[in-house]
Structures are given as structure tokens and as C-alpha cells.
Amino acid sequence: MERHTPADGIHPTAIPRVFLIRAARPSEPLHALHEPALCIVAQGRKQVLLADELFVYGPEQCLVVSVDLPVTGQVIEATPRSPYLCLRVDLDPGQLSAVMLEAALEPSGPKPRGPGMSLSPAEPALLDAATRLVRLLDSPRDISFLAPLFIREMVYRLLASDHGARLRHIALAGERLDSVNRAITWLKHHYTEPLRIEQLARVAHMSTSALHHHFKSLTAMSPLQYQKHLRLQEARRLMLGQALDAASAGHSVGYESPSQFNREYSRLFGAPPARDISRLRGTLQGHAQRANAST
């Protein structure tokens, strides 16, 4: 992994849906929409905050994300000599169900409580398949044939493990998962619009009470909180990347009240917009200077 990550950042690979991530030092908290994925840390340590629940993991555990979730991630253990290294495999929810059915894997015990994100031990069989997947980067001619087999094996290892109960229940959630995913997709495309829960329930083909219950069980937040995270993350991106001022950024993502935008932004990111963006720019400039010095 280190050989295929010459610099810090997220590196797409020649294998579809497979990424290598490197960081030479602890990072600032990064707010993002995490898509369904399996993340295996080879070196270093990271923490991910979902609503009020904190997930901390390193080489002994892997992170499994089953639905699109707005999270805050932060590398907490990394040095230039021993950088944080992570393998991310984006998951196809349909493949989870297909592997379960073909392997005749059944959910066992009561349905686990908690959101569509969990930590599982990085067991030897799973790490073996992951290692073979990464080694394919040294033999590109084998990727098209072997990569799908290794990814399928990794999905099977996850589902078949003693700790795969949550994933098995989610994979067979069927209609409920499809309904929540429809609601999530609508929110991702319409987050600037006022949220009417009755309209969202119609999109999801559920009652309002059922939508609220199943949405929160998978995402750890209500539809309104989910929309708020999407709005604030996009506003931050606009201020940082397009130099919009706070009022313009807030208005562009659907806030009519600047004071409400500033209040909710400060609550999520820990500082008012101007101060937060100034700090972020200083951090980015520092990273760029260190990168230039190292080259």
C-alpha cells in the first residue's frame, strides 16, 4: 500500500471501487458523506463520529458502512515514518444480498440495534483476501479476472463472520432499506429545499412514523438532522473552495436566516464560519508548505 501511495490523500486504483488512503500526520476533522464501504486500516488509527456515536479503529478492526451517512472522520495516529494507510472498498448493497442468498447465510439471533455503521474484527481470512486484492496492483493484467473474485470473497467473509449479524440483517432488510435509500437519495438531490416529512414519506413509500423510525435506526439521525448535515457540509465546501461569504453560502444551501445558519454551523464545526474557514485555509497552506519542503 505504501508503494502505491506516493503522497497523502485518497488514491483511486486500477481496481474499480477500490481506493488507497494515506496520511503522514494526524488530520483535522473532515466532514463528509460516507458511502457504503469496507475500510481496513493497515497502519495508524482513525476515528469516525456519526451523530453522537464515536467509532475508533486501527489494524485490529475494520469499519463497515452500509448506507450513505454524513460523518466526521479524523486520522488520530500517523507519522511521516509510519503513515496512516487504509484500504477502502466501496460496497454494492445489491452484492451483499446476492452473496447472502447464494451462500445460504441467514440472520441469526435478534436484530442488532444501532446505525448502518459498525466495527468488526479484522479477522485473518478477511485480511488474507484484502492482501491478495492489494497485490493485484502489481499485476494489472490479472485485475479484471481476479479482483471481482477477491472482493466477493471479502464480502462473504464479512457476512459469514460471527460479527456480521448487523450486515446480514441490513442485507435482507429488503423493502425497508430500499425505502430509506430512496429518502436518502431524494435528500441528497433536494437538500436546499424546505423539508416536508409527508412528501419525503411519499417518496419512500412509507408512513411518516415508519420512515422516521427506520431512517433513524440506519443513519442515527432524523431526516431533518440528515438534511442539516448535507446543507452545512456543502456550505463549508462553497466557502472554502469558491470563496463565498457566510451569508451567500448559507442562502445557497437553503438557509433563510443568517443567524440560524451561523448558529448551526458553529454547533457542527465547532467555530463560526469565518473563523472555521480561516483555520482550514491555514491548515491547508501548512500541508502544502510541508509537501513542497519534502520534495
Fold match, 9-171 / 175-283? no
- Cα–Cα distance list, 115 to 18, 55, 196, 214, 249 (Å): 24, 12, 23, 10, 30
Which of 8-17, 61-70, 124-133 is predicted with the least confidence, judged by mean pLDDT? 61-70
Q: What is the pLDDT of residue 102?
A: 84
Spans of all domains in the chain? 9-171, 175-283
pLDDT surpasses 90 at 117: no
pLDDT surpasses 90 at 76: yes
Which of 62-66, 175-179, 199-203 is predicted with the least confidence, judged by mean pLDDT? 175-179
Rounded-to-integer distance, Cα 1 and Cα 131, Å: 9
Q: What is the pLDDT of residue 148?
A: 95
Q: Which residues of 185-215 are buried (b: 16+ CB within 10 A; e: fewer)?
A: ebbeebbeeebebeebbeebebeeeebbebb
| Cα first-last separation, the chain | 20
Reading the block at residue 119, the C-alpha cell is 466495527
> Rounded mean pLDDT of the chain?
89
CATH class for the region spanning 175-283: mainly alpha
* Domain 9-171 bears CATH identifier 1.20.1600.10: no
pLDDT-based confidence at residue 290 (cuts at 50, 70, 90):
low
